[in-house]
Amino acid sequence: MTEILEPNAQGLRSAAAILGRGGLVALPTETVYGLAGDATNDSAVAAIYQAKGRPSFNPLIVHVADASVAEGLVTVSPMAQRLADAFWPGPLTLVLPLRPDAGVSPLVTAGLSTLAVRVPEHPVAQGLLQVFGGGLAAPSANPSGRVSAVTADHVMTGLAGRIDAVLDGGPCRVGVESTIVGFDGDRAVILREGGVPAEALAEVLGHDPDRRKEAGAITAPGQLASHYAPGGAVRINATKAQPGEVFVGFGPMECDLNLSETGDLAEAAANLFRHFHQLDAEGAARIAVAPVPEQGLGRAINDRLRRAAAPRDS
C-alpha cells in the first residue's frame, strides 16, 4: 500500500518518520518528483534501486536543505561555490569530490569518488529536508527508463505498491530534471542539460561550460540510451503527423497536443512529461513531435526527446 500524504505539517512528519525507519517517500521538487530514501541507510538506498528497477551502476543525487549541509558531504571548489550561490535553491546539481567522512551509503555513488548534490527550491521538498534533518538520496520517481513523474498521480501510476508514500505537492513547475554540472580542473562540464540553461551557467562562470556525456548514459556516438520514454514509439523533428501518429506540436500549428502554443520554452518543459503521461494513459502507439529550438530550456527538452526516440531493447 502506498499512502498519499498531504503537504502539511502532519504529512511532513509522517514522511520524515517513514524515511527515518528506512522507508521510501516520493516528494515533489520544482523539477520532477523524486523517490527519496535516507542517503546514509544502505537498505533504504538499495530499496530505491529495487523500486525503480534501476541498474545499480547509475549513481543517485543527494538532496540537502542548503549549501551548508552540502559542505559536510562534498568539497566545494570556488567555481562550484559561485554556481551554488547563483542557482541554489533551484534546478542545479553539482558533482563534487565526496568527503571521506560524509557518511553517505556507497550505494548512492555506485562506488564513485564524487557525489551529486542538489538543494531543491520546492517548499514541500525544503520542508521535508528540514524536518528530516539529513540528506535524501532521490532519483526521479519513475520506473527506470520511463517518463519522469511531474504529478503525484504519475508517481502512483508507475510506483504504487512499491513505495511507502507520496507527498502530493501538485504539478512540478519546471518539468524537466536538474542540470547536472561536474568539474574538470578549471572547467565546468555539463553532464546533463536541465532546468538551468547553459546560457545562464555561462553568465555566472564567465566561460561556456563544456559538454560531456553523463556517466553510463551514452557509450558510443549514435547509441543514445533509451530513456525518459513513453510507451509509444517517438519520432522527433516532425513537421506533420503521418497516418496513425499522434502529433505533439510546438508553437502555433495544427496538432493533437501542444507543448506551447506561443512557443514558450518554459511552458513546453513543464508540459513535456505531462503530455507523455497523458499519451501513455490514452495508449498512444506512435507519437510525432514537432521541432523545438536548441536554445535555453530547449536543450534539455531536445535531450529528453532524443532519448525518448532512441532505439529500445526488445
Residues that bind ligand TXA (CB under 6 A): 29, 31-32, 34, 58-61, 93, 95, 109, 112, 114-116, 118, 138-140, 177-178, 180, 191, 214-216
Write down the least CB distance from residue 8 to Mg ion, Å.
28
| The three cell numbers locating residue 159 | 510506483
Write down the least CB distance from residue 256 to Mg ion, Å.
26
**Choices 109-117, 126-134, 136-144, 270-278; region in contact with Mg ion by CB under 5 A:** 136-144
| The three cell numbers locating residue 114 | 564524487
Q: Which is nearer to Mg ion, 77 or 144 (CB)?
A: 144
**Inter-residue contact 234 to 285 (CB < 8 Å):** no
Write down the least CB distance from residue 214 to ligand TXA, Å.
5
- Given the DSSP bridges, would you call strands 25-27 and 165-167 parallel, antiparallel or unpaired? parallel
Of these partners, Mg ion, ligand TXA, none, which one is at the site of residue 157 (CB under 5 to 8 Å by kind)? Answer: none
Residue whose grid cell is 496513425? 244
**Choices 13-21, 55-63, 132-140, 260-268; region in contact with Mg ion by CB under 5 A:** 132-140
Q: Which is nearer to Mg ion, 140 or 302 (CB)?
A: 140
| The three cell numbers locating residue 203 | 553568465
Write down the least CB distance from residue 112 to ligand TXA, Å.
5
Q: Which is nearer to ligand TXA, 228 or 247 (CB)?
A: 228
Number of residues that bind Mg ion (CB under 5 A): 1
Q: Which of residues 76-115 bind Mg ion (CB under 5 A)?
A: none
Q: Which is nearer to Mg ion, 93 or 140 (CB)?
A: 140
**How far is the C-alpha of 98 from the C-alpha of 113, rounded, in Å?**
6
Residue 256: count of CB within 10 angstroms of its CB: 16
Phi-psi region of 3 (alpha: psi -120 to 50; beta: other; left: phi over 0): beta
- The one-letter amino acid at 223: Q
**How far is the C-alpha of 28 from the C-alpha of 166, rounded, in Å?**
9
Q: How does DSSP assign 113-139, residue by residue?
A: SEEEEE----HHHHHHHHHH-S-EE--
DSSP code at position 67 = H
Instruction: Tell whether omega for the bond before 89 is within 30 degrees of 0, i.e. cis.
Output: yes
**How far is the C-alpha of 136 from the C-alpha of 117, rounded, in Å?**
10
**Among residues 31, 93, 140, 260, the one that binds Mg ion under rule CB under 5 A:** 140
Q: Which is nearer to ligand TXA, 53 or 252 (CB)?
A: 53
Write down the least CB distance from residue 180 to ligand TXA, Å.
5
Write down the least CB distance from residue 29 to ligand TXA, Å.
5
**What is the contact surface with Mg ion in residues (CB under 5 A)?**
140
